[in-house]
Copies of this chain bind each other. A is one copy, B any other.
Amino acid sequence: MEKSVFRSKIEPQHVDFTSRVSISSMCDIILYVAGLDAHNRGFGIDTLAGKNFGWVLSRMCVELDYIPKEYDEFTIHTWISDYNRLSSTRNFTLTDDNGQIFARAVSQWCMLDFDTRMPVDMNTLAQVHDGTIVDSPSPCERPRRLGAVSGEPIAEHKVVYSDIDFNRHMNTMRYIDIILDTMPIDELEKLQTLRMDMNFMKESLYGDNLQLRGELVDNKRVYEFSKGDAGALCRFSFEFNNIEK
């Protein structure tokens, strides 16, 4: 089994005010390629006929050695390296036209039974992974487990129409943007390198009232979205070079 290869480009709609790709658009590009590869390979879909199962993103990390700018083109390699009872690991490298790998990502996916909203044991679905595993390790440290974030909310957000995607969940890119919107804009202007980790525990739906908490821990900005009594929904950690140096 070989890695899948895609070409990609930073389009005008992906850039922020610095004319470089926004962090959320970079994730969108990577997740788009994940969807495309799964679609092209019929990954899991054929074997799931008649079951209301689907892939749900559980954890992800992204590392950027520099922030690509508008019209930059690059090659994305993606492959599934392994799976266990609860999740399947999809990896990514992004290579620029000088042959340099400038970005790496690792994503972990659960299979959700949409009727019960419970994860499906992968071992009962072993054939889903038949012939999909590429014997190549993840290109960077895997997504970290992020701890609870304390303190008072720094922002509140009601989930609206433009936040939700086809399954009526709050979209991953909107979580990222809502966090970035709370940061000083000159931090984002100075951004040179990035490591981001994401943990998704529970979904949020149209009309939900979310609280965002954030704090600085060991030079990392960590954030947690929660929903009243339902507790934590997802957590994010950002390491910016301009914080560390």
A sample of 11 more A-B contacts (CB under 8 A), given A17-B161, A70-B166, is A11-B32, A12-B35, A13-B28, A15-B166, A17-B165, A17-B206, A18-B166, A161-B180, A161-B183, A162-B177, A185-B206
A165 to B22, CA, bound (A): 10
The interface size bin for chain A is 20 to 34
Kindly identify, within residues 114 to 164 of chain A, every residue whose CB is under 8 Å from any CB belonging to chain B. Answer: 160-162, 164
Contacts of A165 in B (CB 8 A): 12, 15-17
Contact of A166 with B32 in the complex, beta carbons under 8 Å: no
**With A12-B32, A12-B35, A185-B206: A17-B162 Cβ-Cβ less than 8 Å:** no
Interface CB pairs A-B, < 8 A, 20? A11-B32, A12-B35, A12-B165, A13-B28, A13-B32, A15-B166, A16-B162, A16-B164, A17-B161, A17-B165, A17-B166, A18-B166, A22-B162, A160-B181, A161-B177, A161-B183, A161-B188, A162-B177, A162-B180, A185-B206
Chain B residue nearest in CB terms to A174:
B162
**Interface residue? A4 (CB, 8 A):** no
> Which residues on B sit within 8 Å (CB–CB) of A190?
none
A→B interface (CB under 8 Å): 11-13, 15-19, 22, 24, 28, 32, 35, 70, 160-162, 164-168, 177-178, 180-181, 183, 185, 188, 206
**Complex Cα gap A185–B164 (Å):** 11
Q: Which residues of B contact A161 (CB under 8 A)?
A: 16-17, 177, 180-181, 183, 185, 188
